[in-house]
Structure 1
């Protein structure tokens, strides 16, 4: 099993060291250097402002973005929004055999193009160099893509000698720790799987189980200060304290129905999607609901984008929605 990850988002040196240590056959350090030099997506350094703004309250409605309506003829979902540079990247997959997926890009001029035609992806995240990390159900793995060329690297593809079920959502810490969920929604996309659905972390060398008690864990996010990991699964949102890199026991914050992905604003509030209820519940870090955001179809995930990261983008059944807010948030 090949395992690579980029601590503190500095990829080339770390991957080179791992390649020397593990000697996989498919990638070498020259390949990695070439991939890095070919990437053309501009990435700006961005962090939460000291005064992020005012969180939403009450009931709000997001507007569908007409240009993003899927051109596919088969039913499917949009997933994994991630803001890179000045554009929103997202997965577009169908329910056909193998759950075929592509990565689409909503550009600042409102046009939509295909960045990666055959990504196999669900959830997306972005590292500090602008590369896409993706939960790829076609290979039951976490993969890393060059968004300009579509070139793929395998990051981690199994636990305890067996493939994952169908990695769904993921997030990266500033220290290069990868956190991801592994429900069984797309388990049939490829052979093999696990006996349980779990939440995992991967430090570049070792896969560790965070939780194996949640039925189909789905959305996963870090708090802005990275001291808490949040997971939506089963019928709850669960918070895990992180102290000096050590994960503590999870505490349930709130009960939810059909939880999917979620976003986090710079004040630490969670934007939790309830898939079949077609809305987002905005909750504080202590679990108090402060707002609801409605859409007009089933909903999957959310992320902040725009020049000030105050536009909330929402993915769902064949379209995107957006809502301008007064608070900045995290880009995936």
Structure 2
């Protein structure tokens, strides 16, 4: 994002179209839904004005969106598993591909602009992916119970965050990175059995640029998706299982404040992305559903797919293609707006 954590323009890796992340007013057309329960009031400081001072050229989606399955990306594995952590870099979509057998073996796959699939790293042990300021992949790695950094060209892995309070993490999952390199990640217990050890609670963490790890929140059961508003003034985290929440944390002087539940009644929330207007694209895993919320927590759009859904990211030649990952499947939705590349 322009000073954003997950921008299409970030690092100069993405197409020039992502310049649309730089400015525009929040669209006024909002459609509420009975299944959406916004909690914050419109007067809530930064949470109610995420797009007020930024701007982009684009139109927010509304109503029913129609995903298109990318057949070339259908899994060829014989055992069940999930695609996760999509991130768009240059002209390709990278994502984790793991199975449910012992240790949750995982690899990183790439779908290029021509529709060709290739395995980039055969044994990454990864879930959520992001890209840092050096163009390296940052991954939540359940295999190592840490946040890792990968050089895709060489396969070299280095550790970004290994422990907190003397213990390894449970199974680092989703990731968001600020423009100045601060990393936020969720640590649920979904793949905790991949390796020995873990934390007493599931949590959300912040990794400073000097590597210092601090706890943001340990009150959400199995926190999952994490993302940042376009101006990096608000951190979003979801989790909580069948009665899940979308929680917003105002960031003051680089430090997340106490969280406020923006939306409740979410059924098993999973990964998220934001568009350049600040709208939040949230997946519901077992409901096989994508829901789009304004920064105020009002639902404006939705989409259904035919397999369990895990995560979303913007990409494509124009930066306006929304990619969705799920159970051995990829989908895409063509939109009229750009958004976060992971």
Q: Is the TM-score greater than 0.5?
A: yes
Match of 2:315 in 1: 305
Q: 1:42 Cα shift? A: 8.4
Secondary structure at the counterpart of residue 249 of structure 1: strand
CA RMSD of aligned residues (A): 1.6
> Aligned partners of 2:12, 2:280: CA distance in 1, in Å?
28
Conservation of the 8 A alpha-carbon contact between 2:160 and 2:211:
no
Conservation of the 8 A alpha-carbon contact between 1:141 and 1:154:
yes
Matches within 5 A, 1:183-262: 183-203=188-208, 204-234=210-240, 235-255=244-264, 256-262=266-272
TM-score, normalization: structure 2? 0.84
Q: 1:293 Cα shift? A: 1.4
- List gaps (5 residues or longer) in structure 2: 6-10, 24-55
Flag the structure with more relative contact order, 1 or 2, with Cα contacts below 8 A and sequence separation at least 6: 2
Which of 7, 10, 13 is equivalent to 1:43? Answer: 13
Secondary structure at the counterpart of residue 286 of structure 2: helix
Q: 1:149 Cα shift? A: 2.1
Measured against aligned partners, the alpha-carbon deviations of 1:73-103 in whole angstroms (never above 9, x if no partner) come to: 1100000000001100000000010000000
Conservation of the 8 A alpha-carbon contact between 2:139 and 2:149:
yes
Measured against aligned partners, the alpha-carbon deviations of 1:109-156 in whole angstroms (never above 9, x if no partner) come to: 000001111000000000133210000000000000112222111111
Which of 57, 64, 80 is equivalent to 2:69? Answer: 64
Conservation of the 8 A alpha-carbon contact between 2:161 and 2:211:
no
> Is 1:292–2:302 an aligned residue pair?
yes
> Is 1:155–2:160 an aligned residue pair?
yes
> Aligned partners of 1:52, 1:282: CA distance in 2, in Å?
18
> Aligned partners of 1:138, 1:244: CA distance in 2, in Å?
34
Conservation of the 8 A alpha-carbon contact between 1:106 and 1:113:
yes
> Aligned partners of 1:205, 1:108: CA distance in 2, in Å?
35
Conservation of the 8 A alpha-carbon contact between 1:219 and 1:261:
yes
> Aligned partners of 2:133, 2:180: CA distance in 1, in Å?
11
> Aligned partners of 1:249, 1:81: CA distance in 2, in Å?
29
Count of aligned pairs: 294
- List gaps (5 residues or longer) in structure 1: 1-7, 10-40
